[in-house]
Amino acid sequence: MRKPTKAVLTGAAVAALLVPCTVNAVANSGRGRPHQDTSATTLGALGKRAGLRIGTAVDTSALAEDASYRARAASEFTSVTPENVMKWDAVEGQRGRYDWSEADKLVDFARANGQLVRGHTLLWHNQLPGWLTTADLGADELRAVLRKHITDEARHFKGRIWQWDVVNEAFDDDGTLRDSIWLRKLGPGYIADAFRWAHEADPKAKLFINDYNIEGVNAKSTALLELVTRLREQHVPIDGVGIQGHLAVQYNAPHDIAANMKRFDDLGLETAITEADVRIPMPSDSTGQEAQAEGYDVLLRGCLLTRRCTDFTVWGFSDTYSWVPSTFEGEGAATSSTRTTGPSPPTGRSWTT
């Protein structure tokens, strides 16, 4: 784990990035009180004015080892998402043997800070344990293994998870279902089964399907809309759609996000921005940072303008711990922690650099 440096972002920089656009967006969205009240001291307090939870993904190693990170994770946000510790490889590294310790610590942290927890994620094609990916199980055994995993994990956290990302990244960008172990062995019905099993295990949790590149109206978001329409018609217990919101300044911001999100809202589904970050080609400069602020603003406005959008979660608030540099060579600063120019936050707090 990288050592924390001075560059660790405090909530001030996150607030400074998000507070201006949050204040404006909330004030103009019709969801907040009409006047622009900049007295809110945290992102969470601002979001509350619009009936929105503002959350962050949490790196639990940083939470344990970095006091500044821990303080800001506790104070700025009203929901948290485990970045990795509820994924299959983290909780069931050996078949049938669970280690909930890291995930339980985060749930306890959230409870101590009055935060809700977005569970992430019961079923994905990535971060699967080796015993599963190398076993080449037959369809019946794989289905039984999947049902047991979803049931065991949802039962373990029963009553402590607000929203579950039940199925993560089921689609390809062209709108076809992703070629995964799940689709190949179990067929497209694995998606409905996952939701039924999760609901059986924790009837009170809100159950979401989550994906990236579905911010605007495109083949992928339309295919997802068609799927969730069918699932609702089949009375599959699905409550919402998670729109990850991983943007990059070299691509246009999804200005049609509100129109897209309305399509899901019109079905009576909840929505959430679940993993917002906006990466910049490095070294970042004021142009990149302005484009980044626009990206966050577009995502936040899309949520604020959508009746049942309940949560706006950033995928981390410190570039020191961001997934971006190790994934996109030459890009970074996705959480704006290196921003040293631009307006000081209305709360008068200083920047960190």
Instruction: Catalogue the active-site residues.
Output: 169, 275
Residue 120 is inside which H or E element, if any? strand 116-123
Quick check: helix, strand or coil at residue 44?
helix
Which residues 274-313 are close enough to bind ligand G3I by CB under 6 A? 275
At residue 113, the 3 state secondary structure works out as coil
Cβ closest to ligand G3I, residue 168 vs residue 335: 168
Contact 56, 76 (CB under 8 A): yes
Q: Which residue in 336, 179, 165, 321 sits closest to 243, CA to CA?
A: 165
Between the CA of residue 77 and those of 24, 85, 292, 336, what are the distances in Å? 19, 19, 20, 17
Binding mask 160-199 for ligand G3I (x = CB under 6 A): --------x-------------------------------
Give yes or no for residue 239 binding ligand G3I (CB under 6 A): no
Q: Helices then strands (H, E): number in the chain?
A: 14, 10
CA angle 121, 218, 193 (to 5 degrees): 35
Q: Minimum distance from CB of 219 to ligand G3I (Å)?
A: 19
User: Residue 332 forms beta bridges with which residues?
Assistant: 280
Q: Note whether 66 binds ligand G3I by CB under 6 A.
A: no
CA gap 104, 100 in Å, rounded: 6
Nearer to ligand G3I, 168 or 337 (CB): 168
CB of 320 to ligand G3I, least distance (A): 13
Among 66, 76, 83, 239, binds ligand G3I (CB under 6 A): 83
Shorter beta-carbon distance to ligand G3I: residue 37 or 172: 172
By C-beta, is 83 or 297 nearer to ligand G3I?
83
Q: Could you say whether residue 244 binds ligand G3I (CB under 6 A)?
A: yes
Smallest distance, Å, CB 167 to ligand G3I? 12
- C-alpha span between 285 and 65 (Å, rounded): 30
Task: Note whether 134 and 182 are within 8 A (CB).
Answer: no
| Touching ligand G3I, residues 45-64 (CB under 6 A) | none
Q: Which is nearer to ligand G3I, 310 or 313 (CB)?
A: 313
323 binds ligand G3I (CB under 6 A): yes
Residue 294 structure tokens:
């626009």
Our finding on whether 215 is near ligand G3I (CB under 6 A) is no
Residue 92 contacts ligand G3I per CB under 6 A: no
The footprint of ligand G3I (CB under 6 A) covers 83-84, 126-127, 168, 244, 275, 323
